[in-house]
Amino acid sequence: MVDELAFKYAKAREEILKAVRMDLIGPQGENEELDEMPTNSYITGMLFPSDAEMSEDENYNTQNFETDFKEDNDTGTIMEDVDPDDNKPKGGFKKQSSLGVSCYVSSETTKLNINIAWGRYEKESVKVMAMVKGIEKEVNKTLYIREQENDTLTIDLQSFDRFTKIPLNIDPHLVIHIIKVNLENHNTMLSVYLYNQRPNGDNEKEYEKVLYQVEMTLYDNKQSPVFLPEHKCRKLELEDEYYYENRAVYARGRGCAATWEKTTDSENAIVIKSVFIPDYEINGVSPNIPDFNKNMFSMRFMSLSKNRAATIERLSILSNLYKKWIGDLNDSSHMENSSFIPKGQKIIAECQTAQQRIQRGINLLATNDNAFEAFCFMNQAMYMQRSISMFGKKNSQGISCSLSDFTKEDHSEWRPFQIAFVLLNLYGCIEPTSDERKNVDLLYFPTGGGKTEAYLGLIAFVIGYRRLTASMCDEYEKDGGVTVFLRYTLFF
């Protein structure tokens, strides 16, 4: 059932995206007929003549699409570089006149095809029947009729050193700019741009010079997987690339986004495309863990001091499962790219540190009576808050009820990531000299997952502990510890 529902939701999202693209970019059909100028019908996916000015209501600073990138010989990083033949500033108040994509290929790749596809609209007057003052008459109606345009160039990458311009066969005012940077690792970075350099000032209307629904496609004659993943071509590895080993980046858009196609039998891509409205399916995230029974981390249960031993046992199961999960990560078979192993080990070590902090928090609750009482107070506060919210919601609907109806039920529990975050920070909250107080732990989870509750729970713990340990207040004052409450509030 879950898979069937997920499929239906994905299908619905696909239809919504399709409708958005049709509305913002077009076309309704290959030979569509519009009853208004296409520049009024669509708002993106268009390339205007390079000196077309924006109207007053479109006045905004836009990206300079004429920048590209080069590799710094000292650091191996990629730096912005303006093409020497187009270094005159275009200003910040122009409509978009160019788009491009950047990608990597092996230096052994000698030729690439560049296909440019776009639509153009021609104005026509047609006779139609219409009601005029209650009388059906034949009148003239203006239509803008779309025609599809395509042009393909074959580029010899060995025919130029660093930069070249190539006009399209169909229109010499549509110009391809190519920047080539040879890297030390025998790879080549390519940046390919399309410029609309159609002149203004003649009798043609602006809409006639605009390219609509523009798409640039790069490929080789044999549809071979020639486009390399970005992380294998740069000298400098990004810190988080370890996480995305199986989701490599093959191209970046300039004035647009980039997408690609690849086959299952190669790690390289076979096609690179420009796209104006990109989309990406993000898998759903569940806060639940199958190993835990319902109400495993019940707020009501853990608010009772008599349940101390059972509470410690439940929390220890969480810590032990996390420890086992980390241990399984040490299996290097998870990392197909051997260069990621050292970085992976570093991240695993950080996970181990987090697990040790969680276990230290559990040990604190097992050995420190005041800490455990503050922990119970935290659970009681969060349970009462939930009860009051449920009472308020039901009462506001005109349903007769009392608050006591909700304080006798086991209706609320912590999600595993919430209680883990609380445990992670317990020791640092009550020990003024702990090095953990130098940490700023960021809790990340999708909206609606319960981040705020975890933060508020930790604040309630700190308040409860300070109430129980008056002698500790002096230590907090010396450490600036009165700001503990603020420290965990202002982050959010």
Residue-level pLDDT at 5: 67
- Quickly list DSSP for 417-446: HHHHHHHHHHHHHH-TT-GGGG--PPP---
Q: Is residue 294 part of a domain?
A: no
Confidence at 98, pLDDT banded by 50, 70, 90: very high
Residue-level pLDDT at 315: 97
The helix/strand/coil state of 192 is strand
Do residue 363 and residue 440 come from a single domain? Answer: yes
Residue-level pLDDT at 377: 95
pLDDT tens digits, residue range 230-280?
888 877 766 666 666 678 899 999 999 999 999 989 999 999 999 999 988
Q: Is the per-residue pLDDT at 367 higher than 70? A: yes
Residue-level pLDDT at 76: 40
Do the beta carbons of residue 142 and residue 34 sit within 8 Å?
A: no
pLDDT tens digits, residue range 376-433?
999 999 999 999 999 998 888 888 888 888 888 899 999 999 999 999 999 999 998 9
Phi, psi of 364, rounded to the nearest 5 degrees? -60, -45
Residue-level pLDDT at 184: 84
| Long-range pairs for 237-243: beta carbons < 8 A, 24 or more residues apart | 237/339, 237/343, 239/343, 241/340, 241/343, 242/335, 242/340, 242/343, 242/344, 242/347
Q: How far apart are CA 133 and CA 340, in angstroms?
A: 76
Do residue 473 and residue 357 come from a single domain? Answer: yes
Confidence at 88, pLDDT banded by 50, 70, 90: very low
Q: Is the per-residue pLDDT at 109 higher than 50? A: yes
Q: Is residue 29 part of a domain?
A: no
Do the beta carbons of residue 54 and residue 148 sit within 8 Å?
A: no
Confidence at 284, pLDDT banded by 50, 70, 90: confident
Confidence at 203, pLDDT banded by 50, 70, 90: low
Do residue 218 and residue 86 come from a single domain? Answer: yes
pLDDT tens digits, residue range 116-139?
999 999 999 888 787 878 888 888
Average per-residue pLDDT for the chain: 83
What residues make up the domain containing 105?
42-120+150-275
Percent with pLDDT over 70 in the chain? 81
Q: How far apart are CA 108 and CA 187, in angstroms?
A: 8
Query: Which of 195, 202, 188, 180 has the alpha carbon at shortest distance from 108?
Result: 188
Do residue 172 and residue 69 come from a single domain? Answer: yes
* Domain final residue, candidates 259, 275, 291: 275
Do residue 154 and residue 81 come from a single domain? Answer: yes
Do residue 172 and residue 305 come from a single domain? Answer: no
Rounded to the nearest 5 degrees, what angle is found at the Cα of 117, between the Cα atoms of 180 and 19?
120
pTM (2 d.p.) = 0.70
Q: Is the per-residue pLDDT at 13 higher than 50? A: yes
Say how many domains are in the chain. 2
Do the beta carbons of residue 146 and residue 32 sit within 8 Å?
A: yes
Do residue 192 and residue 336 come from a single domain? Answer: no
Q: How far apart are CA 362 and CA 422, in angstroms?
A: 10
Do the beta carbons of residue 264 and residue 340 sit within 8 Å?
A: no
Cα-to-chain-centroid distance, residue 488? 27
Give the full edge-to-edge strand order of the sheet including 269-275: 33-34, 135-156, 111-132, 212-219, 269-275, 257-262
Higher pLDDT, 62 or 286: 286
Residue-level pLDDT at 386: 92
Q: Is the per-residue pLDDT at 293 higher than 90? A: no
Do residue 306 and residue 357 come from a single domain? Answer: yes
Over residues 151-174, the mean pLDDT reads: 96
Q: Is residue 463 part of a domain?
A: yes
Contacts of 74 (CB under 8 A, 6+ apart): none
Q: Is residue 23 part of a domain?
A: no
Q: Which of 98-102, 312-316, 401-405 has the lowest mean pLDDT?
A: 401-405
- How is residue 384 written in tokens? 């009462």
Do residue 400 and residue 315 come from a single domain? Answer: yes
* Domain final residue, candidates 275, 290, 315: 275
